Amino acid sequence: MKIKCSYCGSFISDTAEKCPNCGAVNEALVRGAEGVPRTIEELKAFCAKHRLPLEKMRFFIGEDYKAPKAFGIYKDSGGCFVVYKNKADGTRAVRYRGTDEEYAVNEIYQKMRSEILKRKKPNMKSPAPYEAAPRRKRKRNPGTYNILLIVVVSAFVFLYTLLLIIVPGAPRRGYYTYEDSCYYYSNDDWYVYDDGWTPAYSVDSELTDNYEGYYEGGSYSSDYGATDFEDSGYYHEYDRSNDWDSDWDDDDWDVDGDSWDDYDSDWDSDW
């Protein structure tokens, strides 16, 4: 189907990412579940559609912006997608660096939404508190209650133990030491520290099969001989579910650019 470009008026395909005449992004092209953009071009179109004042919001989409106080996403020369925050002092915190464009876009999309929500929150509708009808108190027999509790706990322990025997588990997220090297396991992937964190593309079966014996913990310690994995570009809490407040709808993206104040953002934190 042909639609009109919002910028030059030329007719273009509704599936085109850009107008072949002027190069503008296609505002009508926002694919993905529930309209959530999955690529940088889709995110550009999404922002144009909602007329978000990105420069005032300090969001730079598809741009490696160097100045302080900025959120951004771009694709580097090596083919990796980089999600970053330039803090008030000019230093950069990299939220994500990798080849998963959908994840990278979702990170900056969520941050953009949270910044808008922060400013809209006083005006957002809150559901009325639920008031339960008063009920009469029933007297319980302490002996019966304790017996029931013991039965439930015993059954749970039995089933959990049986599950561990039948179904092999997966390594816990956290730090492992193996042959004088520090490893980190997260989201089905292993990482190894060697003057910096890198993906461990080949991991000895001894570690993968007997990981519990090498597990150090989920929290960082300088005793591991490595830097904090959470400070690396590989750390992320991956969640594509977009499980946000049900009150949020398409109209809530409307932003008054004249009243936007970037001083409301925390420019000293890493994200």
- Return all residues near 171 (Cβ < 8 A) that are at least 6 apart: 185, 208, 211, 215
pLDDT digits (tens, 9 = 90+) for 245-255: 445 667 778 88
pTM: 0.49
Contact 64, 72 (CB under 8 A): yes
Q: Is 81 helix (H, G, I), strand (E, B) or coil?
A: strand
Mean pLDDT to the nearest integer, 220-233: 89
For 217-235, b/e burial (b = at least 16 CB within 10 A) is eeebeeebebeebeebbbb
Res 138: pLDDT: 56
pLDDT digits (tens, 9 = 90+) for 80-91: 999 999 999 999
Q: What backbone phi and psi angles, to 5 degrees, belong to 261?
A: -125, 110
Phi-psi map region of 135: left, alpha, beta (phi>0 left; psi -120 to 50 alpha): beta
Contact 12, 2 (CB under 8 A): yes
Residue 8 has pLDDT above 90, yes or no: no
Q: Mean pLDDT over all residues of the chain?
A: 79
